[in-house]
Structure 1
Amino acid sequence: MRYMITKYFRRLALLVWLMSTLTGVAQEVSFSATAPKVVRNGEQFRLTYTISGDFSQFSAPSMDPFRVLSGPNQSRSSNFEFRNGKTTTSTTTTYTYWLQAVETGSFTIGPASIQVSRKQSMQSDPVEIQVVAGKASQGTRQPAAAPSRHATSSASRPANQDVGEIGDESLFVRTEASKNKVYIGEQLVVSQKVYTKVNLAGFGDISFPNYSGFWAQEVDIPDRINLERVALNNQVYAMGELKRTVLFPQKSGKLTLEPSKVEVIAQVQRSQQSRRSTGDPFFDSFFNDPFFNSRTANVPVNCVSEPVTITVLPLPEAGKPASFGGAVGKFSISSEIDKTSLNVNEAITIKYRVSGSGNLHLIDLHEFRFPHDFEVYDPKVNRNITTTANSVTGAVTFEYVMIPRNAGIFTIQPVELAYFDPAGERYVTLRTETYEITVHKNPTPDSDAMVYSGLSREEVKLLGEDIRYIKTGVSGFYHPDASFFGTRAWYKWLVLIFVIFLILFILFSIRRKNRADQAGMKNRKATKFAKRRLAQAATYLKANQIESFYEEVSDALWGYVGDKLNIPFSVLNTEQVKEKLASSTVPDMVIERFLSLVAQCDYARFSPGDLGSGMQAVYSDAVQIITQLEKYLKKAA
């Protein structure tokens, strides 16, 4: 009897332990509804509600104006997962309705609801469905596996296959722009899409336009195309996006997006010839049935999209700020400083950050007004720009290191950012805050040493503690008849002369090495010299000095490639540049843009006529091209 009681309690304890592990972690409840976004009138489709987790009651909404053919059909599945000594149970319940569209239009099925607990209920999202005209027998089937945009098919067109079987309305390519009218510098999104009513096996040759007149930034999208049901011209298609690009127009006027050319490998059903008679009517009718008497053929179809015209408006002259530098979009500016009280010769850092959405690649802060008593080093510019699905966003940071050389109270004036807001069609001017800097004298009289530029960032940090004045005061006098040889002062002068000689030797060695490597020096300073010339060109642009502007831009372009590619000026020509850039893995499109811009500048310099209207676009193109060349040439180095 005692043994039976002990055995009973052991089993009871084991059961309690199992129950505690099976209810280890409560599952979070989720509730969703799915249905096709577009259907044809008369088409049957499925509406599914999926519930993950425990609930007590499901309440369906009204399905009007759709006809309910069946439902709700309920199914339930459970999943057990053992982790860290505990078992987690997840339960999924689905309610399925089969509906039929009975009229055209856009309709919304309201949210369904479930009871999670006594005091808590949950609703699904409403379902929006567009019903278009058409017969249900013309069903658009989405391929089971979406094709890759880079895939090619080895199947050739059958000899007796006519591409005319696939009509223009069944398979085509479209170029779609988010806007048809924009300002210079305003971003727009252009998508290349394929629309189909037939299954697709893949793609052959694809040719996209170069977007002449635009600065282009491609958006990363998956290689495998995600086909989705859409309505177009009152028809239902499976649509897949081949390419998406953010464009920034660089000149005004009507700009045309050239057609895309895409070879699409379509799958079509082809009927075969009837089998030879077997003599048995039953078997003849069975094997000659169309279901058994057809096969799938891969057919290459060449699709060409229609060109799209974009109207580009010039930026208005009325209300244009003097500090405007071409920024178009929506931006904000902020600043921060690491200290406002310091000693003479201590380093101070100030950062300006411009963030927002638009042509961030053209953002450049000008008109800095730092105190004359501050030695200011070249800024460190960091561009953190991201291309999202619908825009180019990010931030540009300008970091300045300064060293005050005299004591006093100084004011750092606000930095001004002017940009054009295309949404509001107006210019916006932003300013940073004003900083007041208190610079104290150093506690020791020999600590106010003057230090000149040419140092690295790490060396700047040590300036406040490592640099000192050379004492100029005379500490004592010697008698004229006193012997100088062998004294302590004599040895000090001997060591000093040796150190000076060593320093001069090192400096001359470095200078001789740099002169020997003139090509390397020119390569390293090519971008710096190009920026100087472009800054001068910007001055001519504001003053509307057309000839001087084009001459300076041309010198910046030719000088940059000449120094960067080590081409002597005497043999610098388009053939040399094209050959050198191509060998440095620079894309042909970038090379052609460079040569085209150089030719445009030379034409403007030596041809009569008013070419002032395109100066802003030329300046923007020059900045972009030098930036792109620097990126590719750095990779090739």
Structure 2
Amino acid sequence: MRTSELIQTIIKTKYNTYISGSCVRLSREITSISSCTKYYAVILLLLFYGSSIANANNDVQFRASALENVVVGQQFRVTYTVNQEAKDFRGPDLSDFSVVMGPSSSRSSSYQIINGNATSSFSLTYAYVLMANATGEFTIQPAHITVNGQRYASNSLRIKVVAGNAGNANSAPSSSSGVVTQPNSNQSISDNQIFIKQQISKKKVYEQEALSVIYKLYTRYDVRDVSNAKFPDFKGFFSQEIELPKDRQFTVENVNGVNYNTIVLKQYLLYPQRSGNITIEGAVVDVIMRLSNNVRSRGIFDFFDTFQEVKKTLKTSSETISVKSLPTTSKPSSFQGAVGDLSFTSSLSKSAVKVNEAISFKLLISGNGNLRLLQSPNVKFPVDWEVYEPKINDKFKVSSNGTSGTKEIEYVIIPRYVGEFDLPAVEFSYFDPTRNQYNTIKTAAYNVSVEGSSTNETTSPSTTLSLSVQENVKIISDDIRFIDTQDTFVFPHKQYVFGSTLFWLAYIIPTFLFVLIIVLLHKQLKENADSSLMKIKRANKVAKKRFLLAHNFLKQKNEKSFYDEIMKALWGYLSDKLAIANSDLFKDNLVSELQARGVASTCIDETIAVLNDCEFARFSPSSSSELAMETMYQRACNIITSLESELKHKE
């Protein structure tokens, strides 16, 4: 008798005895088995009870699966799998296909013990083998099954049937997919049998309007690997790679009457950054194919063919995209470059607060468009409010249809004074390329009531006054004094400090210093009150800090951060020096303002040229050399120096 049968006999015979309290006899019989047999018994019992518990707790899952694309005359499998013991399977109507076989059922189960934790799995599968009879798209309705007395339905399936190869529609396919062929490796590989397509969703778009580019491989050969793929840099576009499923597989696609196995290699979402014709360069990909060399191996297995791996380089042609400028007529003043189908809302956490109590003001931009490139709308807060830098929370999803999601901008506000304050409506404008028009959305205006004592609560409650506690000096042992060994200043007899030179200097010098400090403070307060003057004074200093950061990124060869800092330095300097808000600073009014201040035209032209070149490099990442970045850095420094000299001379 085998060990497992012996264990089962002992357990069945002694089960009732164990329940009634005769544990001693059962333990003696188990002890008589070898120590190895005892371990087997314990493991089997654990597995039995563990699998029962696992199966009882698992949710019922009943799923159908099949190929999405098949060829006319191709046989394919449709499987229905349930993860628990079931009965009364009822298959769907399969009249659109020929049923070659089925339904056939199979069971599988597994047990695992990992770190003392026992797990089990179970599956019951019903399978059909079908054959497609005609082209078109067909839906296989759900199947039904009973588990633990309850009825469950599977998911439905959608099958696309494509025509067979032209001129050979009535012949059966030579492989399971009906596509793969096995030519001789000594023969030339035809470009019609394997190639790459660059599929562009739109050839004519507006600035900032999204378009997708898909690189898809078409093959009738057995492709084993894809390597050394080089895709374009997309100069002139802001590009985002669309993440593809990791478990993607080949699908069948009919092109000009010929079926191909196809798979997407890369997918990008592009936003043009300038108008005009922009060229998308071609892609280059190496593929490795498994081809038969029609030489049979010698030996006892000489009925097998031998194969050889062949490498081929595939290329796509370049494409030109026509980019139209956004309309200048009827452009709203609040437009800041948003393009797409967007919505705009706002919310205020409280409308009645106390002095120094924080308020949250949120702006929400949602929809589909160039969300990653959006600027925050301009908000006019009351001057008596303390407003902190906004917190921006982006939740985007990138697909071939564009970038969709939300952009939340949250301001934390602290009113410092008592009263009634109005928070005006915020405007947001965007261009809708599908309707060729600008749209402007206004949020609601808010009234905020601030309560509290204007005298006692206008400062932060966190401000406290610390007082030092002084103690009286107590003289102990007054009868003992140490001898003073240092030089002591004494006055001659009948010579007094009052009326002396030292006396008058002690009065005049502090008085003079006090007046000087008052004058300097008054001047500083006056300058601080003039925000425009302060910005003008610190413009050069702020620009130097930006250029120092840019130089560090230049040493690190961090191209994106380098150009970001150069742009911030140039626009920030111009905004502060010309006393123009960032929201109102555009290239057109920049030229007008510089001309009004008498700046030389050559200096103005060079400034605009540097801004254009830097903006182009910023939004169109490419493998810029270190020399190009060094040149851009030097040009930007020269522009700041020239503008500083010109503006100071005019002042």
Match of 2:557 in 1: none
Match for residue 218 of structure 1 among 222, 241, 244: 241
| Counterpart position of 2:430 | 419
- The answer for the alignment partner of 1:362 in structure 2 is 373
What displacement does 1:301 show? 1.0
Residue of structure 2 aligned with 1:23, choices 14, 38, 52: 52
> In structure 2, what is the equivalent of residue 630 of structure 1?
none
Matching of residue 588 in structure 1 with residue 623 in structure 2: yes
260-269 vs 36-45, which moves further: 36-45
Partner of 1:228: 250
2:226 — aligned with what? Answer: 203
Partner SS, residue 202 of structure 1: strand
Q: CA deviation at 1:53?
A: 1.6
For residue 365 of structure 1, what is the amino acid of its counterpart? Answer: S
Question: What pairs with 1:93-492 in structure 2 (closer than 5 Å)?
Answer: 93-116=124-147, 118=149, 120-134=151-165, 135-139=171-175, 162=186, 164=188, 166-221=189-244, 226-233=248-255, 234-272=257-295, 291-292=303-304, 294-316=305-327, 320-342=331-353, 348-376=359-387, 378-381=389-392, 383=394, 385=396, 387-388=398-399, 390-402=401-413, 404=415, 406-440=417-451, 442=453, 444=455, 448=458, 463-466=460-463
Query: In the alignment, what sits opposite 2:570?
Result: 530
Specify whether residues 37 and 339 from structure 1 end up closer, same or farther in structure 2 by C-alpha distance, changes over 3 A only: closer
RMSD: 5.2
Task: Select 2:16's aligned residue among 2, 9, 33.
Answer: 9
CA displacement at 1:88 relative to structure 2 = 6.4
- Would the alpha carbon gap of residues 594 and 335 (structure 1) be closer, same or farther in structure 2, given more than 3 Å must change? farther
Which of 345-354 and 166-175 deviates more? Answer: 345-354
Task: Say whether the 8 Å CA contact 1:382–1:397 is kept in structure 2.
Answer: yes
Q: C-alpha deviations, 1:170-207, integer Å up to 9, x for none?
A: 21111123344433212222121212222223234322
Measured in 2, the distance between the counterparts of 1:308 and 1:424 equals 26
- CA spacing shift, 1:300–1:80, aligned 2, 3 Å: closer
Deviation at residue 28 of structure 1 after TM alignment: 2.0
Counterpart code for 1:9: N
For residues 225 and 124 of structure 1, what CA distance do their matches in structure 2 show? 20
Which letter maps to 2:16?
F
CA–CA distance in structure 2, aligned partners of residues 29 and 219 of structure 1: 34
Kept after mapping to 1: 8 A contact 2:139/2:158? yes
After superposition, the Cα gap between the structure-2 partners of 1:297 and 1:344, relative to the gap in structure 1 and judged at 3 Å, is same
Most deviating of 76-85 and 131-140 = 76-85
Contact 1:67–1:102 under 8 Å retained in 2: yes
Q: 1:123 to 1:410 in 2, by over 3 A?
A: same
Instruction: State percent identity of aligned pairs.
Output: 32
SS in 1 for 2:214: strand
1:466 aligned partner, one-letter code: T
**In 2, distance between residues paired with 1:63 and 1:201?**
35
Displacement of 1:368 after TM fit?
Answer: 2.3
Instruction: Quickly say closer, same or farther: Cα 1:385–1:70, change in 2 above 3 A.
Output: closer
Deviation at 1:216?
Answer: 0.8
Q: CA deviation at 1:242?
A: 2.0
AA aligned to 1:414 is: A
Q: Are the aligned partners of 1:74 and 1:93 in contact in 2 as well (CA < 8 Å)? A: yes
Q: Which one is further off, 370-379 or 545-554?
A: 545-554
Q: Distance in 1 between matches of 2:347 and 2:374?
A: 19
TM-superposed CA distance for 1:91, in Å, is 2.7
Is the 8 Å Cα contact of residues 536 and 552 (structure 1) preserved in structure 2? no
Q: 1:71 to 1:312 in 2, by over 3 A?
A: same
Change in Cα spacing, 1:71 to 1:161, as seen in structure 2 (3 Å) is closer
After TM superposition, give the deviation of residue 424 of structure 1 in Å.
4.9
1:555 aligns with 2:595: no
**Could you tell me how far apart the structure 2 residues matched to 1:589 and 1:169 are?**
37
Q: In the TM superposition, what is the alpha-carbon distance from 1:404 to its structure 2 partner?
A: 4.3
Query: 2-side partners of 1:315 and 1:516: how far apart?
Result: 37
Check conservation: 1:200, 1:265, Cα contact below 8 A. Answer: yes
Aligned partner letter, 1:93: L
Deviations 1:264-300 (A, max 9, x none): 122211123898xxxxxxx9xx98x7x43x4222212
- 417-426 or 60-69: which moved more? 417-426
Q: Is the 8 A contact 1:163 1:299 kept in 2?
A: no
AA of the residue aligned to 2:463: D
Deviation, 1:8, is 5.8
1:137 and 1:347 map into 2 onto residues whose CA distance is 72
Using the TM superposition, give the Cα deviation of residue 87 of structure 1 relative to its aligned residue in structure 2, in angstroms. 7.0
Whichever residue aligns with residue 369 of structure 2, its letter is G
DSSP 3-state at the match of 1:328: strand
Relative to 1, partners in 2 of residues 1:529 and 1:95: Cα closer, same or farther, differing over 3 Å? same
Residue pair 1:225, 1:242 contacting (<8 A) in 2 also? no
Q: Cα offset for 1:531?
A: 3.9
How far residue 309 of structure 1 moved from its aligned partner, in angstroms, is 4.5
Secondary structure (helix, strand or coil) at the match of 1:325 reads strand
Alpha-carbon separation, structure 1, partners of 2:455 and 2:590: 53
SS of 2:335 mapped into structure 1: coil
Per-residue deviation at 1:359? 0.9
| C-alpha separation in 2, matches of 1:181 and 1:106 | 31
Structure 1 residue 247: deviation in Å? 0.5
**Residues 47 and 118 of structure 2 are in contact (CA less than 8 Å); yes or no, is this contact kept in structure 1?**
no
1:39 corresponds to: 70
Trace 1:533-544 onto structure 2 (pairs within 5 A): 533=574, 539-540=585-586
User: Structure 2 CA distance, aligned partners of 1:121 and 1:381?
Assistant: 46
Given residue 445 of structure 2, which amino acid in structure 1 is its aligned partner?
A: T
**C-alpha distance 90-464 of structure 1, shift in aligned 2 (>3 A):** same
Q: Distance in 2 between matches of 1:16 and 1:268?
A: 53
Residues 548 and 227 of structure 1: is their aligned pair in 2 closer, same or farther, counting only changes over 3 Å?
farther
The structural deviation recorded for 1:324 is 1.6
TM-score, normalised on structure 2?
0.63
CA–CA distance in 2 between the matches of 1:214 and 1:522? 26
Cα deviations by residue, 1:516-556 (Å, 9 ceiling, x for unpaired): 99954653686654344486696445769689799879638
What 5-or-longer segments of structure 1 have no aligned partner? 145-159, 276-282, 450-462, 469-480, 482-489, 508-514, 563-577, 602-637
Task: From the superposition, tell whether residues 197 and 553 of structure 1 become closer, same or farther in structure 2 (CA, over 3 Å).
Answer: farther
**Secondary structure at 1:23's aligned position in 2?**
helix
CA gap 1:243/1:60 in 2 versus in 1, 3 angstroms: same
Counterpart in 1 of 2:105?
74
Taking structure 1 as reference, are residues 6 and 184 closer, same or farther at Cα in structure 2, changes over 3 Å only?
Answer: closer
Task: Spell out, residue by residue over 1:575-598, the C-alpha distance to the aligned partner (whole angstroms, 9 max, x if none).
Answer: xxx9xx9xxxx9525989989999
Q: Give how far 1:119 is off.
A: 5.3
Amino acid at match of 2:161: Q
Q: 1:179 to 1:520 in 2, by over 3 A?
A: closer
Letter of the 1:373 counterpart? D
CA displacement 1:341-377 (0-9 Å, x = unmatched)? 4455666553323233321233123442222333545
